[in-house]
Structure 1
């Protein structure tokens, strides 16, 4: 057998062409019906894209709750029976350098009340009450604007009211809206501004990397074509879907990021393969597209399915924000995948050799097999244990800190210091005590309200209890509000809530905005093992069906855990311990945000399996052609290593731009995902997985007879 480095670019050039498979026929059809495909996509993008500009106003900002939890039930009781005095109500804080009873301050309080009462989403405005919502020094007062609308609409009410309320501030008198709804309003704005800034920063970097990866300006533009089509269509779709049920604004943020990253991945894989199919051969453009789709197209389809399956597991978390975020990404992936399998083949078929137009002077157009990655494959084949052990040791060392990882829901520090919610929060703490912004709401049958209030007062961790308030509608409920002794983000608050729920009568419910966060954190902790298990199981099944090789499918799935663990180990060092906090411009909260493990795991695993599919599909194709484990491993690196390296470079650049701007959660997203992709591509896909192929040899591709009969016949070689 010839040495891999001396093999011709395409040893099958002399063999008669095989009839195209299903995806090959789809590609041929797209080429022959170029105008129909192009017009169809233009219509889709134009119709759905017309709704895209509404995305920031149409999508919601709330939904961060554990459906069915005790705290959500408290909020629902408060909305229905207590005039909207719920966790979503707006708190208007008036702080003065003089007693609030003075006429000038009273005039500001009256104007603030009139502004809030004029909004149709506000039920009633409760004036400041001595002993409850007027501070002991008499210089801070709180008006309560009750919630008459859904949590998402109350966030929109905060959008509209916080500015005019702040404008009421005068010398010596400050007015700020605060509370959970205002916090989400401020956070969504800061997050949106950061995402837009990051997107603007990422496009030039992405284009530069694409030009270097493709070696041609024309070829480099194709991923951007897919990305823009996918983004416009998915953004418009999310706006339409938002009329049926609330969709988190984060769904669009993540969709933008994934559409860009996966659009580049998929286009890279197909364009490189298309150029290879044409190199030194007499294939027509349609024939080259057919071969590309039957080989690389299958890998892209499987990769897209793996991403969709991984993200679908997040739907197991009964939280509207999580489900809509996962749904938004899945929608973007579907559009990008559809464009990759129809629009891109049609454009490639029309461009033909012109895909290499405006090439860089040093680029050899159509070169598919990389001599450098082939040489790297040869080195790994000769010294698998040396390189495998080094990569494994590095990943384990980086993953070790994950053992001490702590998670909690975001604190007030995730929004800018000059934001309305944070300014009001600080004023409330200074006037009423550290636990005042996290006031607990306890609802109980009226007949036992006195006993419940006494028990709450005697509970450690409670600074004060307000008199029980009977429901004005005669429903038989009473509400007791209790101020904790600690800040809402303190871990001690969870213990206090646990004690209250354990000792108060069964019909009594404990809630409030801070408790909703605690219930969501508990739900996420509870569901994380289930999501991880389902993601891994479904990923393994997809690989098994596609590769028809149980051993390498299992090892490829398990290997994805290494980069995930290492990424979370780095996250603990950066965000919990604060290493590098100054470099990235944030102050450590002492924990990682509670939503990160379950959601980031699904995203990281999806990306890791993306590269796994690319590498193993190429290895399977080489093994099918040669029957030689060495050619399978070395050939896979030679033909897909450069693509994986370039795609990972783009992803890392995109993700790290999110780490350079905005509030803390986008920084967490950017750093965790960026580190995960970097480690996965550099150490897992380009070192460990090839080493595993080397050490397992032919056993990697062996399939038991009974499984061979059960699984569908899928081949990655053309035909």
Structure 2
């Protein structure tokens, strides 16, 4: 290794060996001004980091609705004209085995509960338990309603602040449980937050261990983690600031944490591995950075763009929580990408050959070109068909169950058994009927009240309709509640709601918490095919621009779709059919959570294309040098196989740690994404895609002359 590698890049203004494109020159600039770049990032991280600790307290807790839907209109009318008695209202269940609701003891408890709500402008009218409406037939359970006088997000925060005071009223044989949609999101967000933090803490040491094994050097292994930490801090602080402009779901940070860790390590692995290889031939560390960014840097940028494009498709769904989850990941990916393009080259330029410091004995003999993956690439080249058929059979077999996949919005089972909202929910069901926690709210003109009530009572599945309550402001509207005879998460609930809306007069509107869930599910189902189409088209377009080769761009997109289908097939077997539910510690709901297909498809496809870009960009680089498809396939595998394997191992470890979470949604997220990465990296990128390169030969890289004229010129070879 040249002695010049030990020279500080900051002293050498024009080192020899620097050439290449924009990214190469950018990398050299960052490496030559490493102190300035690190200083700017420190200022940025201190500024954003000051806001980061409050991220989980600051972000919004709700937003699970279909904007513009009938159920959202009902909620708005209820808050405007009926003292806030909407789906966002807080329902406080009061139960006593010893006393009835009209006893002095329970009345005293109800007064204390009312006192908790006094003085907080977010709560509207407080409605005491009413006979025949919110008192159980035996008189031992009553529901006090505190109206919602604020947005759904503010109501969740209000419950966060007051639920301890509410549950503290319990005692002397009286139990108090805050319930309703706002309380549900309050309890669930807390359980989800605790689970995510626990999973993150567990995943970091596992990740570090994998990184040390992959790099064989403590310094090289630590760089990706530092890069990821910078991305996490920046995105957390950025989301808190963005939340001042528009409400951002707390779930956005959960996903951002997961993706910043997974993709940050992915990108840094690819860059650091290539830099270590470039050090062996480049005249100095700055030139090595330039070569790295001119080759691997392009693949990282294209991968990041693919992730951002895939997630941007989700923004068309008219649901604030879904949109802001996408925004959260896009924020994290953007900051990680910026750090990979600026901070990482600066750190590598400053470290130079010291990047190999703290190397383990075996790593001193380790080359960037892996002999094991070279041998694997040759085996795939010599015997492509058995491996192609085997990989296809596995992926197709796992994809078949997708046909019977069912989706629905989460049930009460997503919160722990001991959560107050679940205890109150189950108590209301036991005392007042299976559908009592999911009453359908009906708002109609006063003159049509009788007609609406009679029509609602004829609907199969509606067991009772409460008397019409006039609006408090004389607006000429009435509200009544329809009691379904099924659990709010029962699949028959959708038919009941549809029949109710079809049967009632046109001026009558049906809403309430279960209706909001169903309207959101309808919106997600409606937009899923559109989102899938957008992602496939844009994913193909980016691959085509990157590789300048239509055939391999098509094949790369198709195999990504195949691994995505296989992951959803596994999701159905586990979360819908309940296979391994006991082992994983959950009770199956009989369906996958409704936002899963839209969101997981975007994330899985983004990750799949991530690996596709890494493998094919490396293969294209060797094809540009040699013009030989065999060399491109074998050398592409030899130079990227270890990185893809290590990156996949890290991602699987990160995602599977979320399988340890108690709440079901993080468990779904971790297992589905973990399975997707495992299938995609090991069955597709390390088997099927190299085999396709072997079988297509020169045709994989062919491009018609007219297309080359249209597309921007992108080369992965360093000149």
- The answer for the alignment partner of 1:66 in structure 2 is 66
Q: Displacement, 1:544? A: 0.5
Q: Displacement, 1:698? A: 0.3
Q: Displacement, 1:17? A: 5.2
Q: Displacement, 1:19? A: 2.3
- The answer for the alignment partner of 1:435 in structure 2 is 435
CA offset digits 1:243-272 (Å, max 9, x no partner): 111100000000001000011001110111
Return the alpha-carbon distance in structure 1 between the equivalents of residues 315 and 576 of structure 2. 27
Write out aligned runs for 1:2-81 (5 A). 19-81=19-81
Q: Give structure 1 stretches of 5+ with no counterpart.
A: 1-15
- The answer for the alignment partner of 1:531 in structure 2 is 531
- The answer for the alignment partner of 2:364 in structure 1 is 364
Return the alpha-carbon distance in structure 2 between the equivalents of residues 19 and 461 of structure 1. 73
- The answer for the alignment partner of 2:86 in structure 1 is 86
* SS state at 1:571 partner: helix
Return the alpha-carbon distance in structure 2 between the equivalents of residues 171 and 388 of structure 1. 69
* SS state at 1:498 partner: helix
- The answer for the alignment partner of 1:13 in structure 2 is none
**Cα gap change, 1:273/1:282 in structure 2, threshold over 3 Å: closer, same or farther?**
closer
Return the alpha-carbon distance in structure 1 between the equivalents of residues 345 and 17 of structure 2. 19
Q: Displacement, 1:42? A: 0.4
CA offset digits 1:487-526 (Å, max 9, x no partner): 1011111111101111211111110001100001111111
Q: Displacement, 1:171? A: 3.1
Write out aligned runs for 1:444-483 (5 A). 444-483=444-483
Q: Displacement, 1:18? A: 7.1
**Cα gap change, 1:374/1:148 in structure 2, threshold over 3 Å: closer, same or farther?**
same
* SS state at 1:146 partner: strand
Q: Is the 8 A contact 1:71 1:511 kept in 2?
A: yes
Return the alpha-carbon distance in structure 2 between the equivalents of residues 18 and 257 of structure 1. 36
Return the alpha-carbon distance in structure 1 between the equivalents of residues 499 and 282 of structure 2. 77
- The answer for the alignment partner of 1:560 in structure 2 is 560
- The answer for the alignment partner of 2:645 in structure 1 is 645
Q: Displacement, 1:120? A: 2.3
Q: Is the 8 A contact 1:274 1:292 kept in 2?
A: yes
- The answer for the alignment partner of 2:153 in structure 1 is 152
* SS state at 2:177 partner: strand
Write out aligned runs for 1:324-343 (5 A). 324-343=324-343
Q: Displacement, 1:582? A: 0.9
Q: Displacement, 1:563? A: 1.0
Q: Displacement, 1:457? A: 1.2
Return the alpha-carbon distance in structure 2 between the equivalents of residues 694 and 510 of structure 1. 59
Write out aligned runs for 1:387-466 (5 A). 387-466=387-466
**Cα gap change, 1:286/1:578 in structure 2, threshold over 3 Å: closer, same or farther?**
same
- The answer for the alignment partner of 1:175 in structure 2 is 176
Q: Give structure 2 stretches of 5+ with no counterpart.
A: 1-15
- The answer for the alignment partner of 2:656 in structure 1 is 656
CA offset digits 1:166-201 (Å, max 9, x no partner): 111113210010000000000000000000100111
- The answer for the alignment partner of 1:502 in structure 2 is 502
* SS state at 1:364 partner: helix
- The answer for the alignment partner of 1:190 in structure 2 is 191
CA offset digits 1:124-146 (Å, max 9, x no partner): 11111112111111111111100
1:512 equivalent to 2:512? Answer yes
Return the alpha-carbon distance in structure 1 between the equivalents of residues 20 and 704 of structure 2. 28
Return the alpha-carbon distance in structure 1 between the equivalents of residues 76 and 663 of structure 2. 30
Q: Is the 8 A contact 1:309 1:538 kept in 2?
A: yes
- The answer for the alignment partner of 2:213 in structure 1 is 212
CA offset digits 1:538-590 (Å, max 9, x no partner): 01000101110010001101110111111111111100111111111100011
Q: Is the 8 A contact 1:87 1:513 kept in 2?
A: yes
1:136 equivalent to 2:137? Answer yes
TM-score where L is the length of structure 1? 0.97
CA offset digits 1:329-378 (Å, max 9, x no partner): 00100000000011100110110010000001111366110000000010
Number of equivalenced pairs: 703
What's the Cα RMSD here?
1.0
Return the alpha-carbon distance in structure 2 between the equivalents of residues 117 and 410 of structure 1. 32
Q: Is the 8 A contact 1:117 1:123 kept in 2?
A: no
Structure 1 runs of 4+ with >4 Å offset: none
Q: Displacement, 1:20? A: 2.2
Return the alpha-carbon distance in structure 2 between the equivalents of residues 565 and 45 of structure 1. 39
CA offset digits 1:293-314 (Å, max 9, x no partner): 0000000000000000000000
**Cα gap change, 1:270/1:282 in structure 2, threshold over 3 Å: closer, same or farther?**
closer
Q: Displacement, 1:282? A: 4.9
CA offset digits 1:406-456 (Å, max 9, x no partner): 111110011011111111111111111111100000111111111101111
- The answer for the alignment partner of 2:267 in structure 1 is 266
Return the alpha-carbon distance in structure 1 between the equivalents of residues 383 and 508 of structure 2. 66
- The answer for the alignment partner of 1:484 in structure 2 is 484
